[in-house]
Amino acid sequence: MARIRRPSPLVIAALTAVMTAGCTPLLDGFVYAGLPYGAGTSAQGYLYRQCTDYAAQAEEALGTSPSLLQNLGDAGQWPVAAAREGVAVDNVPAVGAVAVIPGNPGHVAVVVSEDTDGDTPGYELKGMNYAGRGEEDDQVSALPGRYTTFIHFERTHP
């Protein structure tokens, strides 16, 4: 796969600014100071260190209205819940969209960059808890792959 371009400075700044009670920002995300995996609920209504909590915080930092991100359910429920709120949902990846692996509970991550220089388009995703340990993760993927649905919160920004 070709070289992945770094996210724009705006995306990096937004992701590093992500904070909720008990969280401290890091360069590529955040750490839950003193909170074990799943110990507490964020302002958006998700358990700390879950993929849904990370994606909601990241999307809010990128400019999505908090009201569109609250209590969307488990990751696999996000597409239906977001569509009910009028957010576009399809199978086309885009920077700033939330990528969804369907299922119960499913998984979500934020698409932060795209490589258009290579033969196969590649995308960088940022998320949390992909491996089930409550840790931040970065993935590079030829989308859609396992991520078959994309929620376009980025289209709701003013």
pLDDT of 87 > 80? The answer is: yes
Q: What is the pLDDT of residue 102?
A: 93
Q: Which CATH class is domain 9-156?
A: alpha beta
CA-wise closest residue to 143 among 122, 125, 128 = 122
The vertex-134 CA angle with 78 and 80, nearest 5°, equals 5
pLDDT in tens, 2-50: 333 444 444 545 554 443 333 433 324 454 545 666 677 877 888 887 8
Long-range contacts: 119-123, Cβ < 8 Å, 24+? 119/2, 120/1, 120/2, 122/1, 122/2, 122/4, 123/4, 123/93, 123/95, 123/99
Give the residue extent of every domain in the chain: 9-156
pLDDT in tens, 42-86: 778 888 878 898 899 889 888 999 999 998 999 999 999 999 999
Q: What is the pLDDT of residue 140?
A: 74
pLDDT in tens, 107-147: 999 998 887 666 666 888 888 887 776 677 777 776 667 88
Q: What is the mean pLDDT of residues 80-93?
A: 95
